[in-house]
Amino acid sequence: MASRIRIVPMLAAAVLALTGCAASTTTTSSGDATTPQTGGTLVYGLPDDLGCIDPQQVSSNDAIVMSKPLVASLTWQNPDTGEIEPWLASSWEINDESTEFTFHLADGASYSDGTPVDAASVKANFDSILEMGAVAVLGARYTTGLESVETPDDMTVQLTFASPRGDFLQASASQALGMISTESTKKSQADRCAGDFAGSGPFALDRYEPDTIAVLKGRKDYAWAPPSVENQGAPYLDELRFAVIPESSTLTGTLLSNQIQASNNISARDQEIFSERGFELNNRANPGQVYGFLVNFDSTVGKDPAVRQALMHAIDRDAVNSLLTPNDRPATSVLSDTTPLYNDVSDEFAYDVDLANQLLDEAGWELGADGVREKDGERLSFTLDYWQPTGDALQLIQQQFKDIGVDMQLKQTTVAQQTGTIGDGSRALWWVNSTRADPSAMSSLIGPNALFNENRPDTSIDEALQRIDEISDPEQRQEAVDEAVALILEQGAVIPVMQLSTTIVSSPTTHGITFDASSRVDFASAWTEQ
Amino acid sequence: MATYLLRRIGFGVLIIWAAFTAAWLILFFLPGDAVAAAGVDTSDPAALEARREALGLNRPWYVQYVAALFGAVRGDFGVTVGTGEPVSQIIARSLPNTLELVGVALVFALIIGLVVGIASVYPRAAWLRGLLSALPPIAISLPSFWLGLLLLQAFSFGLGWFPAYNTGTFASIVLPALSLAITTGAYLAQVLASSLRIEMASAYAEQVRAKGATRPRIVFGHALRGAALPSLNMVGILVAGMLGGTVVTETVFSRNGLGRELIGAVESSEISVVLAIVTIAALVFVVINLLVDFVTPLIDRRIALTGKVAA
C-alpha cells in the first residue's frame, strides 16, 4: 500500500463541501448504463507511480494498476472462482512433483510492435526476469528455483524448477510475469521503466512522463481476452490515462469535478460523499495475508505463548472494522476471504477480554501500579513501528491492549526506516500484510525465507508453509493451507486483525472497471458514456 | 570592473560550497541507513557490507566528503542507493519542470508586485491608498498550501478554467505559479510601495513637481526608477523562497519537480539526491543574485560595477 501525502486533512473536508455545488452539474448521467459504448477517454487518478511503468519491475499497488493493462500473462485467474484459466497459453500440463510446467501458447496473440507471442519470446521474458534478479521484485520471487526454460516447438514452453513450486501456476497469471516482446526484453532496466517496451496486453503505451502522466491507447487488434472476461474483443476505450495526483484532497476534488473519472485511492472518509453523489463504489478485499501483527518470539511480549494468545483475544475486530469503509470485513483467518483455499477460522481468535485477562493472570503477569502487567521485572510494554495509513485502527487496538494491561506505544515511521530495523531483533511486533491471490502469500511474509525474522523456536510453521508451495493438487493443497493456518494461530505467530480492501470510486458515466483475482484494477471491459 | 566581477563570482562559489558542506555534514551524521532502506537483505551482514563497499560508504567520513565534493564540482552526485539511477539524471528530469514553474511564478510575482506596489501609492484618495497598502500584509500571511487549495477550489474544481493536475499544457502551470507568486508578489509590492513613498517625498520629486510635472510623470518617469532597486535586490531571496515553496506546491498541484523529488528522497533516505537538490538551490540563488548585480547599474547609472556608488 503506497503511503499517502495528506497535507491538510481538515481543509480537505472544507474543500469538498465547497466543491459539491460546482461538481453536481458535471456528473449527470445521460446515456444507457448497460450497453458498452466504444471510444472516448478515461482518466484514472493515482497518488504515486514510483517512476516506473515496466510491469515486470514494479511491485507497489499503484504502479501495478498503471502497468498491468500493457501486458497479458500466460494464464488468467478468475476473480470469482480463483481458478486458473487460459490467456496467452491455451492449455498446460504440470508433472506430479510440481517441478515441470508445460504451457501451450494460443495462436493469434501479438505484441504491440507487431511480433507474435511465440515460445521464443516467452523464453526471452523468463531469461530476462532471471537476469534482472532482485530488480524484478515479484518476478524474482515467482521464479525462485527456475532451472531451465525450453521451447520444444514454436508454441510450447517448458519450465523446470529445482524444487516443487505448487504456487507457480497462480504466479503465471500475475502481471509481474506478463509478456513483452523479445526485442523489449533486451532493453536496459531504466529504458523499460521509462516505457520503452512493447507488451501483449489490451492497451499499448503512447506516452509516459514519470510521476506525472501515462497515456495508453486501446489496441484495436487485441482479440485474445481470457474466455471468462466480459469484453472478448478490443478494449472499449480509445484512450486510458493515468494522472499522478499525490495530494488526497486534490485527488478528491479532481474526481468530483470530473477532471478524472475514477480512482481507487479515495479515503474512507471521502467515499461517503461520492456515494451520495451517485458515484459507483466498487469494493473488494485484497487476497493474501490480512493485516495483523507478526510476533517476534524472542521479545518480552512475544516469548510467552500465554501473552500471544491473550493479545489474540484482546482485539475487538468489529470495533476496528467500524473505522474502515462500510464494505470492509474483519479478519476471519490469517488469509483474507478473497484468497483461494481460504476458510473461516474466526472462532479460534474470538474477542474475549475476560479470557485474555485470565490467560495473563494464570501465566503470572500481574498488574503493576501503572496498569501495565509485569513478571520477574519484565513489563508487557513495547513500541510498534508502522508506516501504513492505518493509524486510526492501531490507536483503537492500543486502547484494547491497555484493557488487558499491555502497553503498546505507536510510532509512525517510513518504509525506509522500518526496513532498516528488520532483523535486528529490536521490535516485539510487526504490523504487516501481503497481497497475492494464493495462500502462498503467507510464506513471503513469515515463511522460512521471508524478510521478517520472528525467531520461532521450532520449524513446524515453516514446514507447513513449505508444503503449500510444493503441492499443485487443489485438494491436498487445501489440507496443507488449513494445517498451516491452524499452526500459526495455535502458536500465536500471527495475530490477524483486518482485511485490506480496495475501493474503486468511478463517476456515474463510467462503467466496467473491474477487479482481477488479486484485487488489482482491470480496464479491459471499461467504457464511458459519450 | 573585472575584479569586481571576479570577487562576486568567487563569493558565489563560496556560498555554494558552504551550502553543500553544511548539507553534507548534517545528512552524513543523521541516523538512518539508505542501504538497509533499499531492501538489501539486512539479516545478511556480508550482503550489507558488500553493498556499502560498492557505494563507497565504508570509507572514513572525510574521504567520502572530498570524493562527494569533487564529484559535485563535475556535476556527478553519484547514484541512488535504491535503484542505482544516476542522481544527475533525476535532477535533469525534475529541474526543468521546477525552473519552468518558478520562472512563470517570478513573472507573475513581478507583475503583482509592480501593479499593487504602484497602486498603493498612486491614488490621491488616502483611504484607497490605505486599503491597497493593506493587501500585501494579508497575502504574505497566507500559508501557501492553503492558498493553493483555495485557488484549486475556485478556478479548477469550481469554475473549471484550469486543470488541477499537470496535463502538460500551459493552463496547468497557471494555478501553481499563482500560488507561489501571490506571496512573493506581495513582498515585492510592500518594498516597492515604501521605496516609492520615500522617492515621492524626496527633494528631486519636489523639484519636478514644482516644475509642473504631472503625477503619472513623477511616478513612472522618475520615482519608479529609483524605487525599483531595493525590490530588485530582493529577487534572489524571493526566488530561493519560491524554490522552497515548490515542496508543497508541486505536491498540491501534482507536478513533478525538485520539491517532490526532495520529499521522496527524504522519505527513502536518499542522501545524495537531497544533497544535489540543496546544492542546485544554492546555485540558483547565487546565479540570480549575480544577475541582479549586473542589471542594477543598467537601472541606476549612479551605480558602477566597482562595488562603490559613483560620485
In degrees rounded to 5, what are phi and psi of residue B25? -65, -45
Is residue A241 within 8 A of residue A44, CB to CB? The reply is yes
Strands ordered across the beta sheet of A100-105? A89-94, A100-105, A156-161, A146-153
Instruction: Look at residues A191, A181, A146, A152 and name the one whose alpha carbon lies nearest to residue A167.
Output: A146
> Given pLDDT bands bounded at 50, 70 and 90, which one contains residue B44?
low
Residue A382 — φ and ψ, nearest 5°? -155, 165
The tens digit of pLDDT for each residue in A269-317 reads 889 899 999 999 999 999 999 999 999 998 889 999 999 999 999 999 9
Q: Do B254 and A134 touch (CB under 8 A)?
A: no
Residue matched to cell numbers 495462500 = A439
The maximal CA–CA distance of chain B, rounded, in angstroms, is 87
Residues A511-524 have a mean pLDDT of 94
Per-residue pLDDT, A349? 94
pLDDT of residue A91: 96
Task: Give tens-digit pLDDT for B269-281.
Answer: 788 899 999 999 8
Q: What are phi and psi of A77, to 5 degrees?
A: -100, 120
Task: Say what percent of chain A tops pLDDT 70.
Answer: 91
- The pLDDT score that the predictor gives to residue B293 is 82
Between B119 and A353, the higher pLDDT residue: A353
Q: A22: which chain B residues are within 8 Å (Cβ-Cβ)?
A: 157-160
Residues contacting residue A447 through CB under 8 Å, at least 6 positions apart? A462, A465, A466, A469
Q: Which of B41, B43, B267 sits opposite A416 (nearest CB)?
A: B267
- Tell me if A212 and B157 make a contact (CB, 8 A cut-off): no
Residue B253: helix, strand or coil by DSSP?
coil
Closest-CA distance, B271 to chain A, in angstroms, reads 12
Cell numbers representing residue B237 in the block: 531571496
Strand bridging mode A378-379 / A381-386: unpaired
- Contact of A211 with chain B, judged by CB distance below 8 Å, is answered with yes
Q: What is the mean pLDDT of chain A?
A: 88
In angstroms, rounded to a whole number, what is the distance separating the alpha carbons of residues B303 and B307? Answer: 8
Mean pLDDT of A519-530: 93
Mean pLDDT, chain B, whole residue set: 82
Write down the ipTM of this complex. 0.76
Q: What is the pLDDT of residue B289?
A: 86
CB contacts < 8 A (A, B): 124
Is residue B88 within 8 angstroms of chain A, CB to CB?
A: no
User: Could you read off the pLDDT of A176-218 as tens digits, one per residue?
Assistant: 999 999 999 999 888 899 899 999 999 999 999 888 899 999 9
Residue A439 β-bridge partners = none
pLDDT of residue B309: 47
Which of chain A's residues have a Cβ under 8 Å away from the Cβ of B268?
414-416
Distance CA A358, CA B63 (A): 60
Residue B179 has pLDDT above 80, yes or no: yes
pLDDT for the residue B177? 94
- In a 3-state reduction of DSSP, which class is residue A81? coil
Residues in B closer than 8 angstroms to A419, CB to CB, are 36-39, 42
- Mind giving me the DSSP string for A126-195? HHHHHHHGGGSHHHHHHTTTEEEEEEEETTEEEEEESS--TTHHHHTTSGGG--B-HHHHTS-HHHHHTT
